[in-house]
Each structure stands twice: as C-alpha cells, then as structure tokens.
Amino acid sequence: MVPGATIVGIVDDDEFFAAGLRALLEELGHVVAVDARTYEDARAMVEGRAGCEIAFIDLMLGAAPSGADLARRAVANGLAVVVMTGGPSLPNDLDGAALLLKPFSREQVAMVLQEMLRRGKLRPALGVAAVEGDDRNGQCGSARRYRERAAELRLAVAQMPNPHVKATLRSVAETYDRLADDIERGDGVGVARPEAG
C-alpha cells in the first residue's frame, strides 16, 4: 500500500470494467481495498465502510438499478461517492455525490477525484502507485510488467462485447504503455516517491 493513498471501494458487477477502473485508480495513486460484485457484498462494504474513504458505485448491478440504494446508504454513512452510469444525471437524494458517465477516460476519473478533493471529501493521494516490487534499481523490470499488463488488457478488449468497457480498458492499456515509456526514458514517473518534507 502506498502511504497516504486514498482507500477506494468499487461496486460494479462487470469484472472487466471493475478491473479497468482499479488499474486507473491505482495508476493515479489510490488503493482499491474492496471490489464488490454483488449487492450483498457492496452493502457490507458501504455499511461497514471496510476502511474506504470513497466508493465508485455503478447504478446497475445485474438487471436492477440497486446501485442507487447503495449510493444513498454510502452517502448517509459519510463515504464520498462517485456514481457511475450511462445516464445523464444523478438519481434523487444523492446530493454531494459525483457523477462519472460511462465510458470514461483516465482524465475524467482524475477530474472527478480532484473535484471531490476540492470539496473536502478526500485527502490528497501521493501520486502514481508503484507496481509491486518496483524500486529505483528494478525499473526495467517495472516497465516490462507495465507492458505485460497493457498486452493483457488489449487481449481483453478484443474479447469484450461491451463498448463502454472496451473504451475504459483501452485507456488503461495506453496509460500502462505511457508509464513504461517514462520508466524506459529514465523519467521514473511510474514509481511512487514519498513527498519531500
């Protein structure tokens, strides 16, 4: 875990979409502690908080829009909430929640998190999370791992019928490639560093 990182919970029944969002959040320096696929698991996360500071909640879990109920519970329990949907607006009674329209990019996720930070809903994360085992001396291996993750995501895109998930996975794969490029150039931005001070 990156010290000072925001602890995040994801509620989405689509495994590929959740994996793409997890990768985006981790690349932005956050830690995904809970990845709930069912209403029951998500309710336990929202009510027990599971140490999460923010929850990304898809409005449609299965065939029912049960995510709206979960989002209301999360807001009532003091969690920062980002509602993910293909619809153009937030459901009623979700004042204070942010809206993230599917499909979304890395930049849109970063903007939503910045807005939550600006509104005092979150504390700042340290920056880009390191891939497990990364260090200054192992950056070539790190770049290789980022390239491998990008290749895995591209394979998933080829098999994915959902255009929203495809767009998100493509964005994550491109991010991994950019991180690998930075490491190979010696910029080192793909590795988290503690803030000086």
Q: Which of 111, 122, 130 is nearest to 29 (CA)?
A: 130
Residues 6+ apart with CB under 8 A from 109: 21, 24, 25, 28, 100
Q: pLDDT digit of tens for each residue in the chain (197 aa)?
A: 444 567 889 999 888 888 889 988 888 888 888 888 888 888 888 887 566 889 999 988 876 668 888 898 888 888 889 999 887 777 777 777 888 888 888 888 988 888 888 777 765 553 333 333 333 334 444 677 778 777 877 777 777 676 766 777 777 778 778 777 877 777 544 433 333 33
Which residue(s) pair with 8 in the sheet? 32, 54
- Distance CA(19)–CA(116), nearest Å, equals 22
Q: For residues 10 and 22, is the Cβ–Cβ distance under 8 A?
A: yes
Residues 6+ apart with CB under 8 A from 26: 32, 129
Between helices 163-185 and 139-159, what is the axis angle to 10°?
A: 160
Ramachandran category for residue 32: left, alpha or beta (phi over 0 → left; psi -120 to 50 → alpha): beta
Q: For residues 31 and 53, is the Cβ–Cβ distance under 8 A?
A: no
Predicted pLDDT of residue 15: 86
Task: Note the pTM of the prediction, 2 decimals.
Answer: 0.64
- Distance CA(196)–CA(144), nearest Å, equals 28
Predicted pLDDT of residue 165: 65
Predicted pLDDT of residue 2: 44
| Token representation of residue 86 | 């293909």
- Distance CA(170)–CA(184), nearest Å, equals 21
Predicted pLDDT of residue 65: 61
* C-alpha radius of gyration, the chain, whole number: 17
- Distance CA(97)–CA(118), nearest Å, equals 13
